[in-house]
């Protein structure tokens, strides 16, 4: 399960990195103007934009994921009553319910890897805007 979660996070991170890189290439003239008027490469908004998106993803993803994991039984009961079907029939499947366990180590590893990949994707987009734009993602 941990490997699947890391693959999902990796795909999301590369998607964010590709989006930020395209934004940087699209805004190269704006970056040149910012550098001309004295903005340092560390204060370029694209690094901050990637950090905000990543941090919101960490916070909202953990909140929604824990909430869904804790209430999956209620959600399944509601869906079965609303659609008048039995999602996990004991006659067909060996498992009759949706088990859900929350491990704090998995949550901590998810936060760590998400933060690591977020910083990596910010540095990739920083490479697109210049050599000296690849500093740590939260330095301003």
pLDDT digits (tens, 9 = 90+) for 80-93: 899 988 887 778 88
Q: Cβ distance 104 to 73 under 8 Å?
A: no
Q: Which residues of 18-44 are buried (b: 16+ CB within 10 A; e: fewer)?
A: eebbebbeebeeebeebbeeeeebbeb
Dmax (CA) of the chain: 71
Instruction: In whole angstroms, give the CA distance from residue 32 to residue 36.
Output: 6
Higher pLDDT, 5 or 100: 100
pLDDT (mean) for 66-94 = 86
Q: How confident is the model at residue 1 (pLDDT cuts 50, 70, 90)?
A: low
> What percent of the chain has a predicted confidence (pLDDT) above 90?
6
pLDDT (mean) for 118-127 = 69
């Amino acid at each position: 399960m941990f490997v699947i979660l890391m693959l999902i996070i990796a795909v999301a991170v590369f998607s964010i990195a590709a989006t930020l890189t395209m934004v940087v290439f699209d805004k190269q003239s704006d970056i040149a103007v910012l550098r001309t008027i004295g903005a340092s490469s560390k204060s370029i908004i694209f690094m901050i934009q990637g950090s905000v998106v990543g941090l919101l993803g960490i916070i909202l993803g953990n909140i929604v994921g824990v909430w869904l994991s804790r209430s999956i039984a209620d959600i399944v009961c509601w869906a079965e009553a609303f659609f008048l079907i039995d999602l996990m029939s004991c006659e067909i499947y060996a498992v009759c319910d949706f088990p859900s366990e929350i491990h704090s180590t998995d949550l901590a590893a998810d936060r760590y890897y998400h933060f690591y990949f977020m910083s990596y994707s910010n540095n990739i987009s920083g490479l697109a805007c210049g050599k000296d734009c690849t500093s740590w993602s939260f330095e301003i």
